[in-house]
Amino acid sequence: MFTKYRLRQYDFKLVIFVLALAVIGIMAVSSADESLYHRQMWGVIGGTVIMVILSLFDYNLILKFYWFYYIANIILLLMVIFWGEETNGAQRWINIAGIRFQPSESAKLLIILFFAMFIMKHEEEFSSFIYVLLSIVLFAVPAALVYSQPDLSTTVIICIIFAVIVFAGNLSFRVISAVVAVALPVFLIILYLIMQPDQTIVSDYQKNRIMAFFNKEDTANDAGYQQTYSVMAIGSGQLSGKGFRNNEIYSVKNADFIAEQQTDFIFAVIGEEFGFIGTCSVIILIFLISIECFMVSHRASNTAGRIIAAGTGAALGFQSFINIGVVTYILPNTGLPLPFVSYGLTSLIVSFASIGVVLNVGLQSEPK
Instruction: Tell me, yes or no, whether 133 lies in a domain.
Output: yes
Handedness of CA 158, 55, 309, 327 (dihedral sign): positive
Average pLDDT over residues 189-204: 64
Q: pLDDT tens, 115-141? A: 999 999 887 777 677 888 888 899 999
Residue 194 to residue 198: CA distance in whole angstroms:
9
**Residue, of 4 and 70, whose pLDDT is higher:** 70
Instruction: Tell me, yes or no, whether 1 lies in a domain.
Output: no
Residue 150 preceded by cis peptide, ω within 30: yes
Instruction: Tell me, yes or no, whether 93 lies in a domain.
Output: yes
345-363 and 266-299 helices, crossing angle to 10°? 20
H, E, C per residue of 332-365:
CCCCCCCCCCCCCHHHHHHHHHHHHHHHHHHHCC
| CA-based nearest residue to 320, from 258, 261, 267 | 267
User: Which H or E element spans position 1?
Assistant: none
pTM score of the predicted model: 0.88
Instruction: Tell me, yes or no, whether 368 lies in a domain.
Output: no
Q: Which domain holds residue 205?
A: 8-363
Q: How many separate domains does the chain show? A: 1
Contact yes or no for 339/151 (Cβ under 8 A): no
Instruction: Tell me, yes or no, whether 88 lies in a domain.
Output: yes
Instruction: Tell me, yes or no, whether 268 lies in a domain.
Output: yes
Contacts of 263 (CB under 8 A, 6+ apart): 337, 342, 343, 344
Instruction: Tell me, yes or no, whether 2 lies in a domain.
Output: no
pLDDT for 334 beyond 90: no
**Residue, of 232 and 335, whose pLDDT is higher:** 232
Q: Where are the beta strands (DSSP E) in the chain?
A: 85-87, 90-96, 99-101
| pLDDT level of residue 222 (50, 70, 90 thresholds) | low
What is the model's pLDDT at position 100? 78
Q: 91 - beta bridge partners?
A: 86
